[in-house]
Amino acid sequence: MKIPFNKPYMTGKEAHYMYDAVHTGKISGNGKYTKKCQKYLKELFGFGKCLLTTSCTDALEMAAILIDIKPGDEVIMPSYTFVSTSNAFILRGAKIIFADSRKDHPGMDEDSLEDLITERTKAIVPVHYAGVACHMDKIMDLADRYNLFVIEDAAQAIDSYYTGRNGIKKALGSIGHLAAFSFHETKNIISGEGGMLAINDLHFAERAEIIWEKGTNRSAFFRGEVDKYGWVDIGSSFLPSDIIAAFLYAQVENIENIQCKRKELWNNYNNSFCGILDKVNKVQLPFVPEYASNNAHMYYLICSNAREREKLIDHLKTDGILAVFHYLSLHKSKFYEDKYEGEKLEVSESYSDYLVRLPLFYELTEMEQDKIIKSVLEFYNTYSIEEDNTHSLRRKVYK
């Protein structure tokens, strides 16, 4: 494959910081670079408090422990999401209530949520798909009215924003009571695996630190707030090695540069396709609502049917380009299908079948991107939905 779907990017200072971490004599969790990353990101995006974690999954698990999920509690989230959004709450005994996606965007349909709320509902987990904001005013209103927690799954949403009806623009992950970020290698800012919990409701701050430090009050001890530290709660080892934080710090320092490049690439795709694919070929292009910003996490196309997507992916592969689909709707998974009692989630299922993501990474060259754009346009120039529909599955559909 000549053009991969993703390639992790190093800014050049990662190894330097890692060595520095080692020379401080502390590379376990909550070291110098962990504190630097947490402070930098908190100040840059206005989070209440930040704790780095080993993954976004772990940040979500911390959130589930913090809101005290008990067996039988219900948690509402989109079906079109990664398994960890669900698993984190299932591990604490929750029942997952899946919401459908919006027709204009893979994010969950905010207007469908109220009907899913019952007396057992404890939380709503909006997933900001592709880094594009859910309608947070609608969600926070519901949470207020029904006394629910909102945990933003902001895995893809670093450096993205939501402008509320009051006109105030806030960073995603700073709005819900808690929010989880990912620094997985496929994200804008990376550490291989890695994540962060943002704590905006500061009632959770003290306990979050305890749960993060394996259920001990070690952090308070090192601040001199308690005489000795010990076991005070449940918890896990959610904190990453400071080597990971050192790597991450080289990335967060460069966030402006990284984002600038990614947005340029995203706009190149969109400018090349807009007016052609959407108008002529009925391909749905990414939609960014007026209240949302675009952090250029992902560029995707939504085909008209599954065969079209398969052929597009094959066509790109022939040209040495790896394009990939995304989530299988969780309510249809092997694990959950027989547990699922809700309605058919047609829109979510359509994104599972029709959405395809194009390569988008810092080191994607102009020549490579031109090749991808050309290959996509060439495919649609020769592909006909009508003709495809009249042929059998085995027949070639190129003109």
- Catalytic positions are 187
| Residue 196 contacts residue 185 (beta carbons within 8 Å) | no
Q: What are phi and psi of 175, to 5 degrees?
A: -105, -50
Spatial distance between the Cα atoms of 295 and 266, rounded to a whole number of angstroms: 9
Minimum distance, C-beta of residue 21 to its own copies, in the bound complex (Å): 8
Minimum distance, C-beta of residue 278 to its own copies, in the bound complex (Å): 28
Minimum distance, C-beta of residue 86 to its own copies, in the bound complex (Å): 8
| Total residue length of the chain | 399
Q: How far lies 150's CA from each of 41, 121, 146, 209, 290, in Å?
A: 20, 11, 11, 19, 22
**DSSP character string of 74-122:** EEEEESSS-HHHHHHHHTTTPEEEEEPBPSSSSSB-GGGSGGG--TTEE
Give the interface segment with its own copies, choosing from 101-109, 110-118, 148-156, 328-336 (CB under 8 A): 328-336
94 sits near its own copies (criterion: CB under 8 A): no
Comparing CB distances to its own copies, the nearer of 185 and 278 is 185
Minimum distance, C-beta of residue 249 to its own copies, in the bound complex (Å): 13
Give the interface segment with its own copies, choosing from 14-22, 116-124, 133-141, 157-165 (CB under 8 A): 14-22
15 sits near its own copies (criterion: CB under 8 A): yes
156 sits near its own copies (criterion: CB under 8 A): no
286 sits near its own copies (criterion: CB under 8 A): no
Minimum distance, C-beta of residue 93 to its own copies, in the bound complex (Å): 9
153 sits near its own copies (criterion: CB under 8 A): no
98's CB contacts (< 8 A; 6+ apart) are 76, 77, 78, 79, 329, 330, 331, 340, 342, 345, 348
Cα 63 → chain centroid: 16
By the 10 Å C-beta count (0-12 exposed, 13-18 middle, 19+ buried), 322 is classed as middle
Query: Which tokens hold the place of 366?
Result: 């102009």
107 sits near its own copies (criterion: CB under 8 A): no
By the 10 Å C-beta count (0-12 exposed, 13-18 middle, 19+ buried), 61 is classed as buried
Binding mask 186-225 for its own copies (x = CB under 8 A): x---xxxxx-------------------xxx---------
Binding mask 59-88 for its own copies (x = CB under 8 A): --x--------------------xxx-xxx
365 sits near its own copies (criterion: CB under 8 A): no
By the 10 Å C-beta count (0-12 exposed, 13-18 middle, 19+ buried), 266 is classed as buried
11 sits near its own copies (criterion: CB under 8 A): no
Minimum distance, C-beta of residue 46 to its own copies, in the bound complex (Å): 27
| Residue 180 contacts residue 155 (beta carbons within 8 Å) | yes
Q: Among 39, 111, 169, 234, indicate the residue that binds its own copies (CB under 8 A).
A: 234
Q: Among 28, 118, 257, 318, indicate the residue that binds its own copies (CB under 8 A).
A: 28
Q: Among 8, 46, 164, 289, indicate the residue that binds its own copies (CB under 8 A).
A: 8
Neighbours of 229 (CB within 10 A): 16
Residue type at position 49? K
Among positions 332-361, residues that touch its own copies (CB under 8 A) are: 333-336
Residue with tokens 């623009």: 169
Q: Among 111, 114, 233, 343, indicate the residue that binds its own copies (CB under 8 A).
A: 233
Comparing CB distances to its own copies, the nearer of 110 and 353 is 353
Minimum distance, C-beta of residue 22 to its own copies, in the bound complex (Å): 5
* Sites of contact with its own copies (CB under 8 A): 4, 6-8, 10, 14-15, 18-19, 21-22, 25-29, 31, 54-58, 61, 82-84, 86-88, 90-91, 184-186, 190-194, 214-216, 228, 230-237, 239-244, 247, 328, 330, 333-336
